[in-house]
Amino acid sequence: MRRAGRATALLVVLGAVLAVLGAGPAQAAGYRYWSFWESSGSEWTYATQGPSLVRPDDGAVQGFRFSVSEDSQDSAKPRRAPGFTEICAGTPAKEGTKRIALVIDPGTAADAPAGEKPPAPRTACAQVGPDASAAEALAAVAEPLRYSSDAMLCAITGYPASGCGEQVSGDGQGTPAESASASASASAAPSASAGSGGSSGPSAGVLVGVGAVLLLGVAAVVQARRRRG
């Protein structure tokens, strides 16, 4: 009887351990926002500063993409390749100004907030002053723009009509991104799971839980031996 009781206790402990491990880490959150990109020739590079801080040279190409992503590592690029000559072909150079080619990609229907439909992607050539920022170039061709109180770019040409960097739940619906912070790179894109390194192993909380269960199991075995003595 005692052996059967000990075996049952050990099975309960083992089951609890497996249940804790099976829970696994929580799925990383996604955020819906406009990301900001710069041309590195023939490809897009995620910007290291926000558009209000970047002052592109004449002939530069800047991109904006609306999408749902976890962070800069998986953020969607504009779907059109950068090409200054093609975009600004109809805007002749003018002394005292610079030309900035802009690619504006509102994303797909899957990225859109509930009840909204993304407009078609487009390009524009902004002719602005020599000291103008990327944000000023965007404002010259894509108003109305909407910004949050912390200067995060929320909407281009009025899209989307509401929301700004909101966290997206598993069913695709947005919830307030209370933990979202403006990143120094694109359009103040929120950063999720900072420092996680993309690991899919057990989290610290899971390991602590496993340790607690194991300690309970050891205590049960010690108690059983004391009773036998």
Residues 111-128 have pLDDT tens digits of 999 999 999 999 999 999
Q: What is the pLDDT of residues 90-111, one digit of tens each?
A: 999 999 999 999 999 999 999 9
At 28 the pLDDT is 55
At 70 the pLDDT is 82
* Least trusted range by pLDDT, from 1-5, 85-89, 92-96, 191-195: 191-195
Distance CA 72, CA 142 (A): 24
The answer on pLDDT for 16 being more than 70 is: no
**pTM for the predicted model, two decimal places:** 0.67
Looking at per-residue pLDDT, the higher value among 102 and 27 belongs to 102
Average pLDDT for 63-78: 89
Which long-range contacts does 90-96 make (Cβ < 8 Å, 24+ apart)?
A: 90/125, 91/125, 91/127, 93/58, 94/127, 96/129, 96/130
The answer on pLDDT for 83 being more than 50 is: yes
Which two three-digit tokens encode residue 15?
């089951």
9 burial type by CB count under 10 A (0-12 exposed, 13-18 middle, 19+ buried)? middle
At 42 the pLDDT is 85
H or E element in which residue 214 lies: helix 204-228
Are β-strands 98-105 and 146-147 bridged in parallel, bridged antiparallel, or unpaired?
A: unpaired
Q: What is the DSSP letter of 156?
A: B
At 153 the pLDDT is 96
How many Cα neighbours within 13 Å face the side chain of 217?
A: 17
